[in-house]
């Protein structure tokens, strides 16, 4: 149903809403206007109705023009709903192959007030039906293309909207979990009497540098990240099963900026000590489509295939932010991807050994796009920790063991007939995957540039996952990444250490973030 007016332009009335809105105001946003409500093309209205809207927007003014329930609502209620159901045919293919289809019957609710409820029921039924069909039709697609290269009907906008609705629902059910300040899931706060271990005066240049090879920690003005659930910090402060659906992005090691370094020692919280004007870090609990996410482009379940798209979306988001001086501000981007490729997708590929090669192409495409489209950028490439070390942990809680069966089905469980031989095969592929990341970061095409640098940060290669006796985590990825930034290539630490032990600082001799061009190490 269409409402034509002036001032704010056109407005579209949703029958489920009591009043029509355009840009947050009543039909028109300025002055006084006359609008005409027209009935659908196949119906003849009893008479043409014109509503005169005044400037006042209070509740009394609204009732004066619309009545207690609104004349428009009563006009809609008089209309009979369609008598015949609507048949919706969903085809799961592109027309070139034989694939199953779904025929659904959608009935318009008898009463207008049931529209919202019927919509949610229909979406729920549709999502469950689609899941069953996808599982049953697995492998029907193009068998000559690996699963990590394929797009399905689940990639269309309607499916994404449904997924967004489900994520929002789980977000609401879980509630805020990242605001906790005590318990076994967060670090011990650093007392106020303990000073920051570095000389802050050495961490920022007197004026904005023109070369990435003379960049100090305090010169970073914008921070961003791309990755999967590790960068989204899914369940970072979880204490129960439902909390695992919450994304505590404010606690993310590479992009979280919740509180300060004394409570959450992440990379942004360390950089904020040198430059309080840092922007882009995530706040609290948030989804990718929430404002609090800022420049954290990570998605749960993301794979290597997704990072070129993340790069494009990130560049556009940063470019549009009014806080950012696009050409003048220095930006730091951290890329960490690959856990889902090795855990979930490698065993479903037609040629698993091709995964490292494909990752090379995707990573090169991503870095080239950042180099050509975002000035003054410093990129960290970080490998995900060894899947083998995480999966083979002994004495894991039952919940962790159950989740690993679903999240890392290529390694454990009974779905893909896992064996010691297959696990060794996947481990070799991950080693090649990591080697590719190092080779791409060190390649000549990203060397010798004044406003762009890529550095491979190896802190995650030899990490050991474990807990202290009292249950608190004994590792800090944010500190490990910080230390790698101040260590020259070839001498970077490949493991993490307890907080505030071996904490690196800028010095008079080495005040800059290390790149392959400003260090003595040449490959």
Task: Give the per-residue pLDDT at 135.
Answer: 39
Mean per-residue pLDDT over the chain, rounded: 75
What average pLDDT does range 17-27 have in this prediction?
A: 36
What average pLDDT does range 160-185 have in this prediction?
A: 71
Comparing CA positions, the residue from 384, 466, 465 lying closest to residue 429 is 384
The DSSP call for residue 392 is: T
Dihedral sign computed on CA atoms, order 181, 184, 187, 188: positive
- Residues 6 or more apart from 437 whose CB is under 8 A from it? 338, 359, 363, 381, 383, 456
What average pLDDT does range 32-55 have in this prediction?
A: 42
Pick the residue with more confidence: 33 or 336? 336
User: In this prediction, what percent of the chain has a pLDDT beyond 90?
Assistant: 44
Task: Give the per-residue pLDDT at 118.
Answer: 43
Residue 41 has pLDDT above 60, yes or no: no
Task: Give the per-residue pLDDT at 194.
Answer: 92
What per-residue string of b and e applies to 18-34 under the rule 16 or more CB within 10 Å gives b?
Answer: eebbbeeebbbbeeebe
What average pLDDT does range 347-355 have in this prediction?
A: 92
- Give the least confident one: 78-87, 237-246, 494-503: 78-87
- Structural domains for the chain: 2-77 (no CATH), 86-172 (no CATH), 212-485 (3.40.50)
The DSSP call for residue 50 is: E
Round the CA-based radius of gyration of the chain to a whole number and report it.
27
- Give the least confident one: 44-58, 250-264, 427-441, 464-478: 44-58
- Residues 6 or more apart from 91 whose CB is under 8 A from it? 99, 101, 153
Pick the residue with more confidence: 331 or 38? 331
Task: Give the per-residue pLDDT at 146.
Answer: 62
Q: Name 91's bridge partners.
A: 101
Task: Give the per-residue pLDDT at 44.
Answer: 45
Return d(Cα 409, Cα 412) in angstroms, integer: 5
Return d(Cα 49, Cα 216) in angstroms, integer: 67
Task: Give the per-residue pLDDT at 176.
Answer: 76
Task: Give the per-residue pLDDT at 354.
Answer: 95
Return d(Cα 96, Cα 147) in angstroms, integer: 18
Pick the residue with more confidence: 276 or 54? 276
Return d(Cα 304, Cα 346) in angstroms, integer: 12
Residue 216 has pLDDT above 70, yes or no: yes
Task: Give the per-residue pLDDT at 145.
Answer: 56
- Give the least confident one: 61-70, 252-261, 270-279: 61-70
What average pLDDT does range 458-463 have in this prediction?
A: 89
Return d(Cα 217, Cα 271) in angstroms, integer: 6
Task: Give the per-residue pLDDT at 181.
Answer: 56
| Strand ranges, E, within 338-423 | 377-382
How does residue 328 score in pLDDT terms, banded at 50, 70 and 90?
A: very high
Q: Which residue is associated with the tokens 């005409």?
A: 36
Residue 478 · residue 269 · CB < 8 Å: yes
List C-alpha distances in Å: 365 to 311, 312, 349, 360, 471. 10, 11, 22, 8, 42
Residue 26 has pLDDT above 70, yes or no: no
Model confidence over 466-520: pLDDT tens digits?
555 444 453 589 999 999 999 999 999 988 777 777 899 999 999 999 999 998 6
How does residue 404 score in pLDDT terms, banded at 50, 70 and 90?
A: confident
Return d(Cα 17, Cα 112) in angstroms, integer: 10
Task: Give the per-residue pLDDT at 454.
Answer: 98
């Amino acid at each position: 149903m269409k409402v034509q007016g002036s001032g704010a332009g056109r407005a579209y009335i949703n029958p489920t809403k009591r009043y029509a809105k355009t840009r947050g105001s009543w039909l028109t946003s300025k002055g006084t206007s006359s609008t005409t409500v027209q009935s659908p093309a196949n119906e003849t209205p009893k008479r043409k109705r014109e509503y005169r809207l005044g400037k006042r927007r209070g509740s009394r003014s609204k009732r004066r023009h619309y009545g207690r329930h609104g004349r428009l609502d009563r006009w809609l209620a008089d209309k009979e709903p369609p008598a015949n159901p609507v048949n919706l045919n969903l085809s799961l293919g592109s027309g070139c192959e034989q694939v199953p289809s779904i025929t659904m019957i959608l009935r318009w609710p008898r009463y207008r007030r049931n529209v919202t409820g019927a919509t949610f029921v229909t979406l729920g039924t549709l999502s469950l039906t689609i899941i069953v069909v996808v599982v049953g039709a697995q492998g029907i697609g193009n068998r000559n293309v690996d699963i990590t290269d394929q797009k399905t009907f689940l990639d269309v906008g309607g499916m994404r909207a449904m997924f967004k609705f489900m994520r929002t629902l789980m977000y609401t059910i879980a509630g805020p979990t990242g605001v906790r300040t005590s318990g076994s899931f967060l670090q011990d706060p650093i007392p106020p009497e303990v000073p920051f271990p570095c000389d802050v005066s050495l961490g920022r240049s007197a004026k904005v540098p023109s070369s990435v090879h003379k960049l100090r920690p305090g010169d970073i003005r914008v921070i961003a990240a791309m990755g999967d659930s590790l960068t989204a910090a899914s369940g970072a402060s979880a204490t129960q099963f439902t909390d695992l659906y919450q994304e505590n992005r404010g606690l993310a090691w590479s992009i979280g900026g919740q509180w300060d370094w004394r409570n959450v020692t992440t990379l942004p919280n360390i950089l904020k000590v040198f430059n309080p004007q840092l922007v882009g870090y995530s706040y609290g609990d948030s989804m990718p489509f929430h404002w609090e996410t800022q420049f954290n482009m990570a998605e749960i379940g993301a794979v290597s295939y997704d990072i070129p798209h993340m790069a494009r979306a990130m560049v556009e988001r940063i470019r549009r932010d009014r806080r950012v001086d696009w050409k003048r501000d220095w930006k730091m981007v951290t890329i960490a991807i690959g856990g889902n490729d090795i855990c979930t997708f490698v065993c479903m590929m037609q040629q698993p050994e091709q995964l490292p090669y494909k990752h090379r192409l995707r990573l090169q495409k991503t870095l080239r796009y950042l180099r050509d489209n975002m000035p003054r950028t410093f990129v960290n490439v970080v490998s995900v920790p060894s899947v083998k070390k995480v999966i083979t942990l002994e004495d894991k809680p039952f919940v962790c063991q159950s989740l690993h069966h679903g999240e890392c089905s290529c390694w454990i469980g009974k779905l893909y007939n896992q064996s010691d031989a297959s696990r060794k095969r996947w481990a070799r592929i991950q080693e090649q995957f990591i080697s590719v990341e190092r080779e791409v970061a060190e390649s000549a095409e990203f060397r010798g540039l004044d406003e762009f640098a890529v550095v491979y940060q190896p802190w995650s290669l030899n990490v050991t996952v474990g807990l202290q006796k009292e249950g608190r985590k004994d590792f800090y990825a944010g500190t490990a990444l910080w230390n790698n930034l101040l260590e020259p290539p070839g001498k970077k630490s490949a493991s993490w250490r307890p907080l505030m032990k071996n904490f690196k600082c800028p010095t008079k001799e080495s005040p800059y973030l290390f790149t392959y061009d400003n260090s003595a190490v040449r490959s």
